[in-house]
Amino acid sequence: MEQVLYKLPDGWEWHSVKKLSHNIQYGHTAKAESNGNAKFLRITDIQDGKIDWQGVPTVSLEEKEISKYALNDDDLIFARSGATAGKSILIKNAPKDAVFASYLIRIVPNKKDIIPEYLSYFFLTPAYWEVVGQNAAGAAQPNINGTKLSEFIVPVAPQGEQKRIVEKLDALLNRIDTAIEHLQESVTLADALYASTINEQMMQAIELAGLSTVEKHIEQIQTGTTPPTKQPEFYENGDINWFAPSDFGEHDILFDSNKKLSQKAFDAGKARKFYAGTIMLVAIGATIGKIGYLEQDASSNQQITGMKFNSTIIPRYAYYWFRFIKPEILTNASTATLPIINQKGIKALSFCAPNKQLQETICRKIDEVSNFRNTVKAELNEKVELMRSLKASILDSAFKGKL
């Protein structure tokens, strides 16, 4: 594999992963089950560089299989493919009889040549990730197999210098990680304030205006469609937003979809138009309950149902109301195969319709908190990115002998 090399300090050497490890091994192919006799580590069990062993599933294996794939402290585990290809973690405090899945790779560092923590830190550096990116470029599915991993070369410092670097990185990166955690806690608090304000305002509205149902206040309800993909003219040069659940985020106004339709799809009766002011609800799938509204005409696929309320209801108020009743939506959704709430179920959802003046007051109060939340999140996210950049810079310096 082509790798980016740079001049090393005196006494340092480049060595391949193959030379620095005892063996490189793929994990076991097994199906997770309850009440197994071995913990079964998967890539999804590794989050933010940590493993919650309590949440790791089990498998039933023979003793010889457990022995072959057993995880030990100081093993390095890598993801082989997909979005997480190349990510790694150094195993510490593994439970007895823990094994690893087949789409993971395990290497065992040769401790006479390299300190495991030193090697683990190298696999967080920008230089390593640049090589991973080069390897994945143009591939439909990014992957790092055992052979490719064995060819990675590592800048190896003398053992005493390795120990010093690890201690320095432990101290510096722990401080940065702690700072990032505190910043993320502030984001969580801003989200909680926003949710609390919506809840408080809507409960006051209910006290003043009581409850009815969605059906009593809508002029139109319709579910989107997917025009035949075998007719490319419905999509080519499209300029009309065609929303899918993946287009929904924290933003309230839906303004730009990943895929768009041409007018031909509407002229042929293969797409449904939703008009400005329509409330758009994800009504099927894992993200059921996501909500947004339109300020310009658009369309959607069949996972989304649009509601056009009558003139007595401010669209933004209806948007906030649906955020408020998301628990009700989830409770009323059918889960025979996947979560779904049909038009009849949506019409039966509760709705509070105070006068327009009160709706405007409610929207203004929630908007103030929403704007504050968005400002706080933008500032904090910017600080988090700066912290992550600092972390990358420190790691880069460490493996060039400049720390």
What pLDDT, on the 0 to 100 scale, is given for residue 172?
Answer: 96
| pLDDT the model gives residue 103 | 87
229 phi and psi, to 5 degrees?
Answer: -75, -15
Structure tokens at 391: 């972390």
Task: Note the Cα 336 to chain centre separation in Å.
Answer: 26
Sites in the chain below the pLDDT cut of 70? 1-5, 135-141, 336
Where b means 16+ CB within 10 Å and e means fewer, 157-183 reads beeebbeebbeebeebbeeeeeebeeb
Query: pTM for the whole thing?
Result: 0.74
Strand-pair category, 240-243 with 259-261: antiparallel
Give the sheet arrangement for strand 58-59, strand by strand: 58-59, 38-41, 98-100
Angstrom CA distances, 57 to 30, 49, 82, 180, stand at 11, 18, 21, 29
Q: What's the number of CA atoms in the CB half-sphere (13 Å) around residue 209?
A: 19
Is the four-CA dihedral 327, 333, 337, 342 of positive or negative sign?
A: negative
Q: Where are the alpha helices (DSSP H) in 81-236?
A: 116-122, 126-136, 146-151, 159-209
Domains annotated on the chain, with CATH: 13-156 (3.90.220.20), 157-196+357-403 (1.10.287), 212-351 (3.90.220.20)
Among 143, 126, 215, smallest CA distance to 395 is for 126
**For residue 21, what are its two tokens?**
């490890």
pLDDT reported for residue 1: 46
